[in-house]
Structure 1
Amino acid sequence: MKRVTPTLKKTTKLMTAAVLTAGLLLPTTALVGTTGAHAATVAASTQATKNVKVTWNGKSVTSNAFQAAGNTYVPVKALAKAAGLSLTYDKMSGQYTLGTSPNKLTLSAYEGQVWIGAGGVGLQAEGRVSGGTMYVPLSVLRDYAGIDGVWNASTKTVALKAAASTGITIAEKTLKKTSGETVIDIRYPELSGSAAGIAKINATLKQHAEAFLADFEAQMKDYGPLDNEDLHYEADGGYMIAYNKDGLLSVVTQDYGYYGGAHGGTVQSGYNFNVKTGKEVALAQLLGANTNYRAAVDKKIAAEFKKQGSLLETDGFKTIGSDPGFYVTNGGFTIFFQQYEYTPYAAGIPSFDFTFASLLPKGTNPFAGL
């Protein structure tokens, strides 16, 4: 993994809580070489295939789904009832929570769309609101909610069920502290199971959380008391499980720190573990069947940056390098960059999705070497 220090210097304060629910940062994502499952959302008025039937373990769900923009949108409330998933609403934040960690989704409706967070990390995919009902993309349920779904074109039915167990159970651990002008809430995953690498993975993830806390407290001490009594120091650490099968566990962490002033800041990290050994897997290992993958990836990212016109410096991006920040999903993998690394704050965390099929010879299994 590309190591990124969580230190956020005084000269690069980035984001206020007014703009962001701490730790739930929405990345700006380009869909490069992706499937329709990750197609960009469009306005709810776009023509859609309606009356798509939904089943859970073979039994009909009370409300239908619909298809639009290359994705299938599943009704949240009806799914929760059929699958026995918890669905709660927080009046303070205006957010819904579907399911429990590590397959927890956070949902926030706005202007006909639904913002979605997985665990403590915001997603680029959005849901829809139609007729007062919230819908989430099937691709999100597959990737982050522990749900499998199969589309039957002949019957226009989506068959849903709980994803098969991988033999790894994930619990949430926390480092919390609230005192005076300080609020600390850092969450990280702890694994259990028979895989030989679990102890090493747990040690790495715990160390990451503790390092963030230590850095935050050191900077807080350096800053001294806040001038405004209405402000408080804040450390919020979130994570999502992006992939957990084929012998690979992919974890995304986001560390948000606020030290007063106009902005706080978020640092994102991607951990991709071989569960047999506990060692981290490099992107080059997954794409080993294509010795020229970096040139292909660089070219597409450079073209997308140019199209967006978001670079701080013209032609500022050259290459992802030998150790880029990335994580694996059901659809392929995502390469990301930090705030201000190449783009202004408003660009968020620039992220670029790729499919393995777009870069590897036909029939290649990227996980074969694990």
Structure 2
Amino acid sequence: MLKNKCLWGSILLMMGILIFNTTAVQAATPAKPREVKLEWNGTRLPQNGLLIGGNTMIPVVMLRDSIGMTLRYESGVKTYTLLQNDDQLDMIMSGSGVTMRLNNHQWNGPDAEVVNGRMYIPFAVLRDGFGYQSSWNAFQLKLNFAKKGIFLS
């Protein structure tokens, strides 16, 4: 009888260790970014954004190509600059990631990210720094955005 109790105790202990280790590995693995459909004033854009860590990330080249923002790159200082009207976002590349400066002030919101060789910025910087508004559809994973004052459905 005592031998059976020890056997079952050992089995339960091993199962607990196995479950704990599996959960720890899953928690340490970052979630794969999900694609987000992007619309400008209700018109579907040709590129998708990404949902990373709860932030909708917008590809910088899409802002240049589809929205008409100015994008410059200075290779000497590894800095991308995004311009529209009087607003400026500097994205400084370094070994530890991307540092952003919005209108010459340190950006303290979500960080920009480089995914598969493409620079993505959080929509929050467009909202807070460039005066954009949005409507979010979580079911369709779709972000419709425009300059403030434009009606979004």
TM-score, normalization: structure 2? 0.70
Q: Which residue of structure 2 aligns with residue 141 of structure 1?
A: 126
Bigger strand share: 2
Q: Distance in 1 between matches of 2:57 and 2:96?
A: 13
Picking from 70, 76, 85, the partner of 1:92 is 76
Bigger helix share: 2
Q: Which residue of structure 1 aligns with residue 38 of structure 2?
A: 54
**Residue type at the aligned position of 1:128:** E
Q: Distance in 2 between matches of 1:161 and 1:81?
A: 15
SS at match of 2:126: helix
Contact 1:48/1:66 (CA < 8 Å) preserved in 2?
A: no
Q: Which residue of structure 1 aligns with residue 108 of structure 2?
A: 124
Picking from 124, 148, 153, the partner of 1:163 is 148
Is residue 74 of structure 1 aligned with residue 55 of structure 2?
A: no
**Residue type at the aligned position of 1:104:** Q
Contact 1:53/1:158 (CA < 8 Å) preserved in 2?
A: yes
Q: CA RMSD in A?
A: 2.0
Task: Give identity over the alignment, percent.
Answer: 27
**Residue type at the aligned position of 1:142:** R
Q: Distance in 2 between matches of 1:46 and 1:115?
A: 21
Picking from 134, 138, 143, the partner of 1:153 is 138
Count residues in correspondence. Answer: 121
Q: Distance in 2 between matches of 1:61 and 1:113?
A: 27
1:319-339 CA-partner distances (Å, limit 9, x unpaired):
xxxxxxxxxxxxxxxxxxxxx
SS at match of 1:99: strand
SS at match of 2:76: coil
Q: Distance in 2 between matches of 1:112 and 1:76?
A: 20
Q: Distance in 2 between matches of 1:54 and 1:113?
A: 25
* Structure 2: 5+ residue stretches without partners: 1-28
Q: Distance in 2 between matches of 1:114 and 1:150?
A: 27
Q: Which residue of structure 2 aligns with residue 106 of structure 1?
A: 90
**Residue type at the aligned position of 1:164:** G
